Amino acid sequence: MTRTSLVLTLGLALAACPPVLPDVPVPDSGLRSPVFKHAHNDYEHARPLFDALDQRFESVEADVWLNGDDIGVSHTGAPFKGSLKSLYLEPLAQQARQRGSINGAPFFLWLDLKQGDGKLLDLIAAQLGEYPGVFTRFQDDQPALSAAVTVILTGNDAGKKALVQRASPRPYARDSNSYSPMDPPADSRWGAYALNYYAFMQWDGVGAIPPVQKKQLENLVNGAHALGRQVRLYGCPETKEWWRAAKAAGVDFVGGDDLAAIAAVFSER
């Protein structure tokens, strides 16, 4: 069984009966939020960060662990692919300072906290703080100070919530791994959702998306946007049909592992 088939099989088994989301109309403004290409577990590629940048991706994800007195990047802990600084912070800062942006577009670095260890949290805050002007700064009760790279904390729930309670301005905001239409509006601490695909969807990503599933996806996206938050789905089908449907529905971060295939879908007219 292929990796994609296994993910689909497990996802369908876990998704017994996802909740039917209430209808949420498209905002009256008619303005469409940008849709970004997202590199899931970006560090697994031959050239972390740079393979994604070569394909003009605007978002990458790095799983981070405490590694002695530093932050290591890997999916399961040691051995590490490298440090957060060497793989992501330094090269992003260099490009941001030289060019003023990352490939001329907004760029997002998702830090997936694999632990809630206090030392790891301190290191994340400290290392991001070493690059003034590179990372968007989030302020309490004021607009964010936009910069070349926006950091979104995901993963360990207690850890990311603790980090965003620190004094502002903060060089990061957090997501939530659960969604409800009754959630409070977005603020400077909580600005995104990262949701398990099969917690809401049942489509396997093959063929045309069924109308009921299309409406469910649109209600999820429109509901998140109505609250002022961006949305990313993980554990999704790795198919062109899914990426096209996600792009059409306005999912803010459309991603997976096959960078070239995702880029090809985004290049379609």
More confident residue, 201 or 13: 201
Can you give the pLDDT at residue 20? 82
Distance CA 232, CA 252 (A): 6
Instruction: Record the pTM.
Output: 0.91
Q: DSSP alpha helices (H): ranges in the chain? A: 3-14, 50-54, 84, 90-99, 118-128, 157-164, 211-226, 240-249, 259-266
What local confidence, expressed as pLDDT, does residue 19 receive?
79
Residue 4 and residue 58 in one domain: no
Q: Are residues 136 and 237 in the same domain?
A: no
User: Is the pLDDT score of 12 beyond 50?
Assistant: no
Q: Are residues 42 and 120 in the same domain?
A: yes
Confidence of residue 14 (pLDDT cuts 50, 70, 90): very low
Q: Are residues 97 and 198 in the same domain?
A: no
Do 26 and 41 belong together in one domain?
no
Same domain flag for 169 and 216: no
The pLDDT, as a whole number, for residue 1 is 46
Q: Give CA–CA dist 218/225, Å, rounded.
A: 10
Phi-psi sector, 142: left (phi>0), alpha (psi -120 to 50), beta? beta
Q: Let me know whether 214 and 141 are in one domain.
A: no
Q: Which of 163, 190, 217 is the last residue of a domain?
A: 190
User: How many distinct helices (H) and strands (E) make up the chain?
Assistant: 9, 10
CA-based nearest residue to 144, from 169, 165, 167, 119:
169
Average of per-residue pLDDT across 3-11: 49
Distance CA 195, CA 11 (A): 13
Whether 234 and 102 map to the same domain: the answer is no
**113 φ/ψ angles, rounded to the nearest 5 degrees:** -75, 115
Contact 168, 129 (CB under 8 A): no
> To 10 degrees, the CA torsion angle through 84, 86, 88, 91?
160
Mean pLDDT of the region 120-137: 97
Q: How far apart are CA 208 and CA 245, in angstroms?
A: 9
Q: Is the pLDDT of residue 181 over 80?
A: yes
Who wins on pLDDT, 109 or 31? 109
Among the ranges given (17-21, 60-64, 203-207, 216-220), the one the predictor scored with the smallest mean pLDDT: 17-21
Residues 211-236: pLDDT tens digits?
999 999 999 999 999 999 999 999 99
Bridge partners, 176 (sequence order): 193
- Average pLDDT for residues 44-67, to the nearest whole number? 98
Query: By C-alpha distance, which of 154, 160, 133 is closest to 145?
Result: 133
How many other CB atoms sit within 10 Å of the CB of residue 162? 16
Please give the average per-residue pLDDT across 138-152, as a whole number. 95
Residue 10: strand, helix, or coil: helix
* Domain match, 82 and 170 both: yes
Domain identity same for 39 and 170: yes
pLDDT at 269: 79
Q: Read off the pLDDT of residues 88-99 as tens digits, 9 standing for 90 and up.
A: 999 999 999 999
Give the whole-number percent of the chain exceeding pLDDT 90: 87
Residues 46 and 163 in one domain: yes
Q: What is the pLDDT of residue 31?
A: 60
Q: Is the pLDDT of residue 121 over 60?
A: yes
Judged against a pLDDT cut of 60, whether residue 29 lies above it is answered with no
Q: Pick from 190, 225, 242: which residue ends a domain?
A: 190
Contact criterion met (CB below 8 Å) for 148 and 107:
yes
The boundaries of the domain holding residue 24 are: 1-30+193-269
Q: Are 226 and 218 in contact (CB under 8 A)?
A: no
Is the pLDDT reported for residue 26 higher than 90?
no
**Domain tally for the chain?**
2
Residues 125 and 143 in one domain: yes
